[in-house]
A = this chain, B = another copy of it.
Amino acid sequence: MEKLIITVAVTGAEVTKQQQPNLPVTPDEIAQEVYRCWQAGASIAHIHARMPDGTPTQSKEVYAEIKKKIQEKCDIIIQFSTGGAVWHKPEERIQCLDALPEMATLSAGSCNFGDDVFMNSPSFMELLAKRMKELGIRPEIEVFEPGMIENALRLVKKGLLELPLHFDFVLGVPGAMTGNIEDLVFLVHKLPAGCTWSVAGIGRYELPLAVHSILMGGHVRVGFEDNIYYRKGELATSNAQLVERVVRIAKEVGREIATPQEARKILGITK
């Protein structure tokens, strides 16, 4: 089985310091947290930028600053979120690409998301795909419902994306698909041969989906964006604590951990 790629989503667009006091928010905090997660075994850092007051921003300057500070510390793969916050406009969301991350997310359709609608129209998806292609950024296809796999494959047919793709199943969002094992099995069966996949379980789904994925040959995303608890009723002390548990379980079941360089190879990132 391929080595395990662990993505850490350290900040997200919605969590606050009030909810999780250890949330990294400034570029310095984010870089420091990512560095600790890299030490723990993470090979991709999924990044959302924030303003000093914690407000989510898609400003390319802030993204560039975060990137620079992370790169000073370690060789982790830097992945920017083009999802932003649900109230960000498309033209804001796409900006972060100008800061030239190695990877960026491409959410492959629309769905409800908490009290809101997370909008990813076909034309916005095309715009994102084209821009990533121009800039040589490796997309990660975010999938919240099965139809989104089809949406991505439609972009492949149009020549805007190329197989094999790397998918991330984001499961358990209130408003979209649940994150039970039958959901994951169903989605994985839909992927074209040769594609790689990861799973990001939201809240109480994070840990079980991560462990199922380790066993199934998938990859794993954890972090405060998706889940702020270490166990029921107990806040995690850091993103690294969540990464460390994944590493321990992977070792128990005999799955090796990919370094960032090994992850680049698995994902077809040439650098």
A interface list, Cβ under 8 A from B: 109-112, 114-123, 144-147, 150-151, 154, 173-178, 181-183, 185-186, 189, 207-208, 211-212, 215-216, 231-232, 245, 248-249, 252-254
Q: Given the interface contacts A181-B212, A185-B181, does A117 sit within 8 Å of B110 by beta carbon?
A: yes
**Copies of this chain present:** 4
**Once the chains are docked, how many angstroms separate the CA of A177 from the CA of B150?**
8
Report the bound CA distance from A173 to B122 in whole Å: 13
| Closest B residue, CB atoms, query A183 | B146
Apart from A109-B111, A151-B175, list 17 A-B contacts with CB within 8 A. A110-B110, A114-B122, A117-B120, A122-B175, A144-B147, A145-B147, A146-B146, A146-B178, A147-B176, A150-B174, A150-B178, A154-B174, A181-B185, A182-B185, A207-B253, A231-B254, A249-B249
Give the docked Cα–Cα distance between A147 and B117 (Å).
Answer: 13
Please indicate which of the listed interface residues A144, A173, A253 has the most CB atoms of chain B within 10 Å of its own CB. A253
Residues of B near A182 (CB, < 8 A) are: 185-186, 189
Task: Report chain B residues within 8 Å CB of A112.
Answer: 109-110, 120-122, 147, 151
Docked complex Cα distance between A116 and B124 (Å): 10
Could you tell me if B216 and A181 are in contact, using CB atoms closer than 8 angstroms? yes
CB-CB under 8 A from A252, the residues of chain B are 245, 248-249, 252
Question: Can you pick out 17 interface pairs between chain A and chain B where the beta carbons lie within 8 Å of each other?
Answer: A109-B112, A109-B176, A110-B119, A110-B175, A114-B122, A115-B123, A116-B121, A122-B175, A144-B147, A145-B146, A145-B177, A146-B146, A150-B178, A181-B216, A186-B186, A208-B253, A211-B253
Chain B residues, Cβ within 8 Å of A208: 215, 253
The smallest beta-carbon distance between A243 and chain B, in angstroms, is 13
Q: How far is the CB of A127 from chain B (nearest CB, A)?
A: 13
| Residues of the B chain whose Cβ atoms lie less than 8 Å from the Cβ of A115 | 121-123
Given A145-B176, A253-B207, A181 contacting B121 (CB threshold 8 A): no
